[in-house]
Structure 1
Amino acid sequence: MKNIISLILGGGRGTRLFPLTKYRSKPAVPFAAKYRLIDIPISNCLNSGLNQVYILTQFLSVSLHRHITSTYKFDTFAAGFVEALAAQQTLDSTDWYQGTADAVRQNLRYIQQRGIEYVLILSGDQLYRMDYRDMIKTHMDNDADVTIGTLPVPREDVSGFGVVKLDENGRVVEFAEKPQTEEDINHYRTSPEWLRSRGLEPRGREHLASMGIYLFRRDVLVDLLTRYEHTDFGKEVFPSSIASHHVQSHLFDGYWEDVGTIRSFMKANLDLTTENPPMALDTEEFRIFTRPRYLPPTRMAGAMITDSLIADGCTIGSGTVIENSVIGVRCRIGRDVTIRDSVVIGADYYESDQEFQRKSPTTPAVGIGERSVIQGAIIDKNCRIGRDVRIINDSVTEQKERDNVTICDGIVVCAKNTVLADGWKLGP
């Protein structure tokens, strides 16, 4: 589809995902043992036949740029590209991106290329599988100016989303960003009968939320962003353009998760360890692409592993028990370790014996030391967890920080490069 360009928004500061975003942007956060969040929308694009992709970045974007450059390469004879565009000062603008619409506005020159008729705008921190060709068909069939991807959500979740009100043909007649009052929430209710007529079973979900996926006619998008100074699509662009443009809704009823908080990140990872995961990774139809690392197979010496994902290049010692957890690449786990309901992101490198010997005698090696216990925690990259360490939030504390270890939403998070000496314990 040479007449469509995809723009993936790299997101803001990612404060709700801190400390995972301490050294990286949200889309660069590792996910599911071997991927990064940005791999999801890029893979959806490539699987949908869309191979002209820009990623708009701003905060802590070095690792994201490195990942994109080393992963998504097109050969000389293959048309297409996946490129990262960093926020930059120009003669027209000297400011950082002020919102989703402003990010696109500051990069209009990249979509005003010859032959481009449509622009698909995506978020870089959502988990879902979607064939965008279905959304493009909805857009074409209805001769729309703008099409918004929408998802049915239960009433209790409405206040966290932009929601739409539709006419009988699925055209958006009203849009509200995160309605709070009972009156507003009731106003945006969608008839269960109408949802069923579109092949969607409500199951208590009678509101349609914006997924942050938008398809624009290129000329309409350029006009809206140059005529007005709107900075956000949900808060300003859609509410003001519905009266003057044909804004259509495209219904989606598959798995979709906004990974915006530590709790949602943890849940999305651990959901993949279940017997019937909501988003299966082992499918040929819609593969998730990422950087090839050429690592050796994981070696397990008498360990017991249940309902878990284990990436390549790991070594797991005898007597170790891993349950309902995600273990990332190059993870070295000692003997008699217990890991439950946790995400261990792994390491960027293997530490050689010579490198380890040069460090202080009290500094543990990269990985998880013998007899340590980790439960309900996220261990970021390159952490050095010593022997007999205990990481369990026994007191069910919601927020706390100590020794580069943070408790967020009741989940313990060890930031990247954290060092915990032998015998370190969290809790009373």
Structure 2
Amino acid sequence: MKKRLLGVIDATTYHEDLEELIIHRSLAAVPIAGRYRLIDFVLSNMVNSEIESVAIFPKFQYRSLMDHLGSGRNWDLNRKRDGLFFFPSPNLDGPQQGIGSFTHFAANLDYFYRSTQDYAVIANCYTVLNMDFRPVLDWHLASGCDITEIRQKGKSLEMYLVKKSLLIELIETRENTGYTCMRDVVADIGHSYRLCTYNYTGFTFMIDSINTYFNASMSILQPTIWQQLFLKDQPIYTKVKDEPPTRYLAGARVKNAMIANGCILDGYVENSIISRGVKIGKNSVIRNSIIMQKCQIAENCVLDSVILDKDVKIEPNTVMKASSRHPYVIRKGTVQGALMNS
């Protein structure tokens, strides 16, 4: 089985509704759940499915993504054979219409020719789920499918399983067929391929806007959702950082929150996600919010339904109140001190 599946992750997607969070980073590198990045989910799913060769095809602002993944050691992909591969886009202009650009693949066709795997899983980088791809392959083979599209309740998850030789054929004949990506093939009712759908029933969130990102993050705080995502026998791996435990000072109170390592808390945190190295000052109140790495919140602040990107500084006595439908986003590295009530 280890030699049967090849992993392909499309990291070229740019969702305009997430612009506030992806100006300085790839969508795949957006932090989530305190200590993870979006790509950690699909990449861990592949590793847990015994996929030993994974190719990542990035386009936008991928420095932070490469820094996060490194050699792939934290996913056991730093290998002499197979392992983790990066293939940045050489000439893709404008927005992509679907997952898995055949033009992007064509520029790195040698990778597909040299790989020893017979089948490929092509996936996006922004779906939060915990899935084993091995049953999909078994079902694909038993059903005699040419292409299997993974769906949930009739909606495509933009993940596909295809025989590698067919994928190479689709790449090489793209100019004649007009197919630019897997979505084009699936959407064409006139094609001659046997198309199948595999229904995934587990918890899934596709992150394509600030609202879906916020709602997914708040949902992860629910124990029933957490238990579906973070499984003991199918762990979600991420970059390991050696940081001290969080310090809870005398004034700290925490209720239904995820707190990463290295924080210093002296305020009240409720229904929120706090990333590594965050400092929350005395008498500050954080509710229904996402606070990313190394943010500093001074004393006597009130934050409700707010997303603070990395390295944001909130000055004393600042009040920011929004709603779950329209959470307020503070960009990376900015200083906020104005009174903002909405």
Aligned match of 1:50? 51
Assess if the C-alpha contact under 8 Å between 2:48 and 2:234 holds in 1: yes
Letter matched to residue 327 of structure 2: I
What is the CA-CA distance between 1:219 and the residue it aligns to?
A: 1.3
Map 1:36-185 to 2 at 5 A: 36-69=37-70, 71-72=72-73, 74=76, 79-89=81-91, 98-99=96-97, 100=99, 101-102=101-102, 103-152=104-153
Q: Distance in 1 between matches of 2:228 and 2:43?
A: 17
Aligned match of 2:282? 335
Aligned match of 2:330? 414
Q: Distance in 1 between matches of 2:95 and 2:81?
A: 30
Secondary structure of the residue that 1:388 maps to in structure 2? coil
Assess if the C-alpha contact under 8 Å between 1:323 and 1:339 holds in 2: yes
Secondary structure of the residue that 1:413 maps to in structure 2? strand
Aligned match of 2:339? 425
Assess if the C-alpha contact under 8 Å between 2:71 and 2:77 holds in 1: no
- What is the TM-score when the length of structure 1 is the normalising length? 0.73
Map 1:345-384 to 2 at 5 A: 345-347=292-294, 367-384=296-313
Provide structure 2 residue ranges, at least 5 long, that are not aligned to the other structure: none
Q: Distance in 1 between matches of 2:77 and 2:155?
A: 39
**Cα-to-partner distance string for 1:383-407 (whole Å, 9 max, x where unaligned):** 01111111113xx6xxxxxxxxxxx
Q: Distance in 1 between matches of 2:172 and 2:71?
A: 34
Secondary structure of the residue that 1:267 maps to in structure 2? helix
Q: Distance in 2 between matches of 1:85 and 1:259?
A: 23
**Cα-to-partner distance string for 1:338-369 (whole Å, 9 max, x where unaligned):** 0000000122xxxxxxxxxxxxxxxxxx5000
Secondary structure of the residue that 1:248 maps to in structure 2? strand
Aligned CA distance change for structure 1 residues 107 and 138 (closer, same or farther; 3 Å)? same
Aligned CA distance change for structure 1 residues 427 and 19 (closer, same or farther; 3 Å)? same
What is the CA-CA distance between 1:238 and the residue it aligns to?
A: 1.4
Assess if the C-alpha contact under 8 Å between 1:255 and 1:278 holds in 2: no
Aligned match of 2:155? 209
Q: Distance in 1 between matches of 2:276 and 2:58?
A: 25
What is the CA-CA distance between 1:77 and the residue it aligns to?
A: 6.8
What is the CA-CA distance between 1:143 and the residue it aligns to?
A: 2.1
Deviates most, 74-83 or 376-385: 74-83
Aligned match of 1:293? 241
Q: Distance in 2 between matches of 1:45 and 1:304?
A: 38
Assess if the C-alpha contact under 8 Å between 1:98 and 1:231 holds in 2: no
Choose 1 or 2 for highest CA Rg: 1
Aligned CA distance change for structure 1 residues 254 and 281 (closer, same or farther; 3 Å)? closer
Q: Distance in 1 between matches of 2:225 and 2:33?
A: 12
Equivalent residue pairs, number: 333
Q: Distance in 1 between matches of 2:272 and 2:209?
A: 18
What is the CA-CA distance between 1:144 and the residue it aligns to?
A: 1.5
Aligned CA distance change for structure 1 residues 392 and 278 (closer, same or farther; 3 Å)? same
Assess if the C-alpha contact under 8 Å between 1:346 and 1:367 holds in 2: no
Assess if the C-alpha contact under 8 Å between 2:130 and 2:228 holds in 1: no
Aligned match of 2:269? 322
Given candidates 255, 266, 270, the residue that maps to 2:214 is 266
Q: Distance in 2 between matches of 1:279 and 1:16?
A: 29
Deviates most, 63-72 or 285-294: 63-72
Aligned match of 2:166? 220
Q: Distance in 1 between matches of 2:227 and 2:71?
A: 25
- What is the TM-score when the length of structure 2 is the normalising length? 0.91
Deviates most, 69-78 or 112-121: 69-78
Assess if the C-alpha contact under 8 Å between 2:106 and 2:171 holds in 1: yes
Q: Distance in 2 between matches of 1:210 and 1:242?
A: 19
Secondary structure of the residue that 2:192 maps to in structure 1? coil
**Cα-to-partner distance string for 1:21-79 (whole Å, 9 max, x where unaligned):** 11001010001000000100110011111121011100011100111115536587775
Assess if the C-alpha contact under 8 Å between 1:70 and 1:291 holds in 2: no
Letter matched to residue 321 of structure 1: Y
What is the CA-CA distance between 1:108 and the residue it aligns to?
A: 2.7
Aligned CA distance change for structure 1 residues 70 and 107 (closer, same or farther; 3 Å)? closer
What is the CA-CA distance between 1:241 and the residue it aligns to?
A: 6.8
Aligned CA distance change for structure 1 residues 225 and 241 (closer, same or farther; 3 Å)? farther
Assess if the C-alpha contact under 8 Å between 1:68 and 1:84 holds in 2: no
What is the CA-CA distance between 1:283 and the residue it aligns to?
A: 3.0
Aligned CA distance change for structure 1 residues 265 and 368 (closer, same or farther; 3 Å)? same
Q: Distance in 2 between matches of 1:97 and 1:118?
A: 27
Aligned match of 1:355? none
**Cα-to-partner distance string for 1:268-323 (whole Å, 9 max, x where unaligned):** 11111123225545531110101110100001113111111000100001xx1111
Q: Distance in 2 between matches of 1:114 and 1:137?
A: 20
Q: Distance in 1 between matches of 2:249 and 2:129?
A: 35
Q: Distance in 2 between matches of 1:412 and 1:77?
A: 42
What is the CA-CA distance between 1:414 and the residue it aligns to?
A: 0.4
Assess if the C-alpha contact under 8 Å between 1:308 and 1:324 holds in 2: yes
Aligned CA distance change for structure 1 residues 8 and 63 (closer, same or farther; 3 Å)? same
Letter matched to residue 335 of structure 1: K
